[in-house]
Structure 1
Amino acid sequence: MKLYIVRHGETEWNKARKIQGQVDIPLNEFGRTLAKKTAKGLADIKFDLCYTSPLVRARETAELILAGGTTQIIEDARIEEMAFGEYEGRCCSKKGWELPDEFGRFFDGPDRYQAPEGGEDFAQVKKRTGEFLNELCKKAEYQNSNILIATHGAALAGMLNNIKGRPLTEYWGDGVHKNCAVTEVEVIDGIPKIISENVVYYDDEVEPWEE
């Protein structure tokens, strides 16, 4: 089994550095362009199945990558973006910061991050994304399949944190993946192993999410 895990394309809230969480924000035109270029980069891969977050920015990314094909797309809420409750819609850039100071733990102390009302902490996201991954990797009928997974920054990091067997303190690994970046994972006997990580198929400049 090969998994190709992709973060969704850019949205207007990405550009404005607003926290999206589970607010259903669509791709912008640049985000659609990134997805189409990613489709060209993955054109040699025949996808047998696709899992996507139910949020439109992830589903549209999947649909653009699979454009013209007949690959089945299955929505799974376990790979939806992290919920931020009352923080959703607020700016998290250094220049436009609209959050409590303790939100800084989101970046530099995920094990100490306190979820706001209606939100999730990192342990919760790691648990649900890990359950999704474990269930998928054990499906005998998919052992020879190429599977596209369209998800989000924090959810994707949760999956990779599970695969790497790292603690919550290292949740972000090398940082938030770029929009439409692809991580390839090979699954043998139910065990996932990362082959390549955060690979992009475009030359466009995309500012780091943290800025």
Structure 2
Amino acid sequence: MGSASLATQPSPAAFLPSLPARGRLSLRPAPPHSPPHLRKRAGKLRVLTIKAAQSGVNNVSVESPPGNEASVTGAAYGFRGATTSLTNEILTSSKKITLVRHGLSSWNAESRVQGSSNLSVLTETGAKQAEKCRDALANMKFDVCFSSPISRAKSTAEIIWKGKEEPLIFLDSLKEAHLFFLEGMTNADAKKEYPELYIRWREDPANFQVNGIYPVRKLWGTAREAWKEILLTPGENMLVVTHKSILRALICTALGLPPERFRSIDVNNGGMCVFTVNKRGEAMLQALNMTAHMYSDHTYQY
């Protein structure tokens, strides 16, 4: 029997941009014998390249991610420039940060405005929620725990961290927003006595202000301070226990969201969020408000 040979066609990759060592894009035209759809694709790429050059986009980085950064990005190419550095300096290693909101407090249960007050304390239910957090993280190894020094968060952290030799560090930058004379008032009373102020706090928090002080906008600066303190501390796996408003600010600043997005994110009592941060201090959100452990014996390993 005679042997048959199949005609081979050029690979589509042959018509994609080549990447020279200096990192600038160049484009080889499709050969005239190539299929029409590949010639069309190469033509589109050529137009895009010309437009990019005309707009000044000619400094595309093609460097490989340093060290173990591929594992941080899920083996993706990397994300230089895709997010903003939280440290503005190179870290010694990539990091994993687990954020936890404190357990149910007395003022949570009474529907009171809490803010930075230290008078709201962890309830019996809140203590059990903290125990659930501890059990859910039993298989995780953390290098350090950071906590707000305010009572309800401090008590939650102490329950989660009980028996561990690693340091428990209290940061003022993890304190909750200061809400002035609204603190301690029930939401119903605050809405009745200060309707305009309360509605602004609930519906336009970025522009809520008392005597020229904007608590939520100030919280964004505090969150950036907290990120630097956390990420510049030696270690690769960090636990952070704090409050809902500062948690919102931590999440939003890591994602590059402004104070106007304050109420676009929610975290339940005992809820957990996870970020990975590469060596350039750029954060990637891995999990938001994990609560499976609140309703079962679920344990986490990540």
- Is TM > 0.5 for Structure 1 vs Structure 2? yes
Gaps of 5+ in 2: 1-94, 297-302
**More RCO (CA 8 Å, sep 6+):** 1
Amino acid paired to 1:20: Q
Q: Does 1:202 align with 2:294?
A: yes
Contact 2:146 2:230 (C-alpha < 8 Å) held by counterparts? no
1:43 Cα offset (Å): 0.9
CA contact (8 A) 2:175 2:242 kept: yes
- Paired residues of 1:82 and 1:125 also in contact (CA < 8 A): yes
**8 A Cα contact 2:223 2:246, kept in partner:** yes
Q: Which runs of structure 1 show a deviation greater than 6 angstroms over 4 or more consecutive aligned residues?
A: none
Partner of 2:284: 193
Residue 82 of structure 1 contacts residue 120 of structure 1 at CA under 8 Å; is this kept in 2? Answer: no
Secondary structure (helix, strand or coil) at the match of 1:171 reads helix
Counterparts of residues 50-69 of structure 1 (less than 5 Å): 50-69=145-164
Label 1:27 to 1:169 Cα distance change in 2 as closer, same or farther (>3 A).
same
Structure 1 residues without counterparts, runs of 5 or longer: 205-211
Larger radius of gyration: 2
Q: Does 1:85 align with 2:175?
A: no
The structure carrying a bigger strand percent of its residues is 1
Q: Which residue of 1 aligns with 2:215?
A: 121
1:105-143 residue CA offsets vs partner (Å, 9 max, x unmatched): 2222122212369x7521101111112113432x2733x
Is 1:40 equivalent to 2:130 in the alignment? no
Task: Count how many residue pairs are aligned between Structure 1 and Structure 2.
Answer: 198
Tell me if structure 2 keeps the 8 A contact 1:26–1:57.
Answer: yes
User: For 1:82 and 1:46, how far apart are their aligned partners in 2?
Assistant: 30
* RMSD, matched Cα: 2.0
In 2, Cα distance between the equivalents of 1:96 and 1:136? 35
Q: Which residue of the partner structure matches residue 209 of structure 1? A: none
The residue type paired with residue 199 of structure 1 is M
> CA 1:36/1:140 → structure 2, altered by over 3 Å: closer, same or farther?
closer
**CA displacement, residues 58-105 of structure 1 (integer Å, 9 cap, x when unaligned):** 111111112221121111111101111111111115x98455122222
Counterpart code for 1:179: N
1:7 deviates by: 0.8
Aligned to 2:269: 179
Is 2:247 the partner of 1:156? yes
